[in-house]
Structures are given as C-alpha cells and as structure tokens.
C-alpha cells in the first residue's frame, strides 16, 4: 500500500498569511499552476482511489492532479481530513492572539486551542482516525489524499521520528507530497514534504 498525501495549492488567503481553516476559499492561479506541475510529474503513478477534504481548495487540487497524472477516478470527500477549525480566528492572523497565538507554532501541544474552534490534540485524533482506518485495509492499492497544512501535520504526527515537534520545522508547502508505505496495518513515512516543482517557487506564508 502506498498513500500520497498532498497539501492543496495556494489560495489568496494563503498569500495574505491568514488562517483560513473552514473558509471555503478556491485556489488562485499560482495554486492551480503548482497543482498542474505536480500532477504532470506524477503521471507514472496509478491511483486506485482518491480521498479529499470537502473544502474546495483541496478538491480542486485533487481534480487537477488526477487529470494531469492521467488518473480518471472519482474523488471521495472525507470530513475527517478537512482543515483545523480555527473558530473565531478564521480569516485572521495569529498575531491577533499575542503570546498565546505564538504557542500554535512554537509549542503546539500546549496551545489551548482557538476560541470556538479546535486544539491540536483534537485535530490529531480525527485525522489519524482516518489514516489508521485506511492503513488497516492492508491492501496493495495506491491512494491519493488531498488535505491541508495543519491537518496534514496532525495526520502524520504519529509517524514522525520526533512526534513532539508538531510542525516539523515548517508549515507544509503548497502542493508538497508526503508518501506513506503501509504494510501489516501499520505505516511508515518514506517521503516527507516532497515537491515536484522548482524550489524557487516555495513560499512560506506562515514563517515562525
């Protein structure tokens, strides 16, 4: 079993460096361009199934990658892998929360959560529930999963060499791909934050 987990392409809200969470923002042209290149570079991969967050930026990324890679399969939406619920902070920058907001990046597991939203522990629980359920199938299929930056880190947290480091030094770049190999019901991360486009195009909108 191989599972390719991709973060969506860039949106206008990404470019502004704000928390978009459940805001249903589409990709901008730069985000679509990254997804096209990524899909073209994955043309030799046959995907048996695709799961996506129900949010449009993730679904659009999955659609483009599947089209460009030559995979004509349906996209199954999965609520458990949608982005963190940022509650009252949706559409705002973390600086609004002062020192408490800094904890989200510097010490994520001590971050108390967003007012009216989720904390990291809750996000890990729901995203990992999905991934572990998929790994339990223990089949020979190849899957594409389209999700979000924070949700991706939460989903893979239990597979990192150092799970205490939530962000693994940075927010996943737009359209980066993480590859999990599944065998015997367990997973192993064999590629972390792989990009299929020029490194010159990497932009970190949420630099700590």
Here the contacts of 184-193 (C-beta below 8 Å, separation 24 or greater) are 184/138, 185/135, 185/136, 185/138, 186/135, 187/3, 187/131, 187/135, 187/159, 188/159, 189/156, 189/159, 189/160, 192/168, 193/168
Position 143 in a domain? yes
- How would residue 205 be classed by pLDDT, with cut points 50, 70 and 90? low
**Among the ranges 59-63, 94-98, 99-103, which has the highest mean pLDDT value?**
59-63
8 is catalytic: yes
Annotated active-site residue 68? The verdict is no
Question: From the candidates 8, 25, 78, 148, which is the catalytic residue?
Answer: 8
Domain assignment of residue 91, given as a range: 2-195
Residue 205 lies in a domain: no
* Domain assignment of residue 200, yes or no: no
Cα radius of gyration (the chain): 16
> Which of 78-87, 137-146, 195-204 has the weakest average pLDDT?
195-204
Is 99 within a domain? yes
Between the alpha carbon of residue 106 and those of residues 58, 109, 121, 144, the distances in Å are: 26, 9, 15, 30
Catalytic residue among 60, 83, 90, 118: 83
Number of domains in the chain: 1
Encode pLDDT of 107-163 as tens digits.
Answer: 999 999 999 999 999 999 999 999 999 999 999 999 999 999 999 999 999 999 999
Can you give the CATH number for the domain in which 60 is found? 3.40.50.1240
Report yes or no on 126 lying in a domain. yes
């Amino acid at each position: 079993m191989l599972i390719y987990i991709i973060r969506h392409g860039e949106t206008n809200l990404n470019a502004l460096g704000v928390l978009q969470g459940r805001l249903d923002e589409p990709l901008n042209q730069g985000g679509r361009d990254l997804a096209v290149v990524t899909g073209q570079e994955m043309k030799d991969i046959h995907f048996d199934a695709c799961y996506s967050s129900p949010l449009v930026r993730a679904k659009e990324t999955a659609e483009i990658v599947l089209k460009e890679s030559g995979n004509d399969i349906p996209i199954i939406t999965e609520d458990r892998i949608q982005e963190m619920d940022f509650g009252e902070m949706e559409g705002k920058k973390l600086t609004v929360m002062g020192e408490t907001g800094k904890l989200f990046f510097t010490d994520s597991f001590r971050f108390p959560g967003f007012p009216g939203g989720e904390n990291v522990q809750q996000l890990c629980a729901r995203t990992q529930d999905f991934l572990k359920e998929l790994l339990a199938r223990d089949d020979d299929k190849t899957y594409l999963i389209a999700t979000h930056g924070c949700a991706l880190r939460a989903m893979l947290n239990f597979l990192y060499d150092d799970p205490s480091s939530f962000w693994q030094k940075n927010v996943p770049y737009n359209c980066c791909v993480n590859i999990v190999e599944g065998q015997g019901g367990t997973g192993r991360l064999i590629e972390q934050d792989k990009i299929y486009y020029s490194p010159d195009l990497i932009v970190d909108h949420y630099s700590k």
